[in-house]
């Protein structure tokens, strides 16, 4: 699977319209890109209107740079299911959270940076097994988030549907 195909799925899951849900801690969002993410990307203050006018092309650039390349996911795997799981986790919960979960899934010291030990541990396991473990850790994380922040429970069903869409099925 090409990274562009993974980004197609991210855009589809995130949606293309501008939203500003009162319970969403991310605030103004389009294509899943929040105001804070856009500020970091552009290197300065942006407005809700800037988020509203964000193009899909710029959103894809942000996703590729911040959520695929910067965490180093392509150095870990080329497996479609595992790469999709990592990128989607990073988009939804942050790249550091995705890397920490990956390290936990493969039983290496969780330091939030993909290193030789992480790559070697991933290589020792079947990619499908790593993806499965990663999804289970993600579900656990989202359950804890909903428990600690009841105002976020409005999103819980959508979060679970999103993860379940990516869980490998069959043998």
Q: How far apart are CA 37 and CA 43, in angstroms?
A: 10
- 162 burial level (CB within 10 Å; 0-12, 13-18, 19+): middle
25, pLDDT greater than 90: no
pLDDT at 112: 95
Cβ–Cβ under 8 Å, residues 59 and 15: no
The token duo for 11 is: 């855009």
pLDDT at 171: 53
Mean pLDDT within 51-76: 97
Strand order in the sheet with 18-19: 18-19, 29-30, 33-34
In the chain, domain spans: 1-70, 79-171
pLDDT in tens, 101-138: 999 999 999 999 999 999 999 999 999 999 999 999 99
- Which CATH class for the 79-171 domain? mainly alpha
Q: How far apart are CA 132 and CA 145, in angstroms?
A: 20
């Amino acid at each position: 699977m090409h990274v562009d195909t993974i980004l197609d799925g991210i855009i589809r899951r995130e949606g293309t319209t501008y939203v500003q849900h009162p319970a969403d801690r991310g605030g103004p969002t389009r294509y899943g890109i929040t105001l804070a993410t856009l500020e970091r990307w552009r290197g300065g203050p942006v407005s809700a209107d800037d988020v509203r006018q964000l193009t899909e092309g710029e959103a894809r650039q942000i996703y590729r740079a911040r959520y695929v390349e910067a965490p180093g996911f392509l150095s870990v795997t080329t497996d479609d299911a595992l790469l999709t799981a990592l990128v989607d986790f990073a988009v939804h919960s942050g790249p550091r959270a995705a890397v920490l979960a990956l390290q936990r899934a493969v039983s290496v010291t969780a330091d939030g940076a993909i290193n030789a030990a992480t790559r070697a541990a991933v290589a020792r396991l079947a990619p499908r097994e790593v993806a499965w473990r990663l999804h289970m850790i993600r579900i656990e994380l989202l359950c804890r988030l909903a428990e600690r922040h009841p105002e976020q429970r409005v999103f819980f069903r959508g979060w679970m549907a999103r993860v379940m869409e990516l869980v490998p099925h069959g043998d």
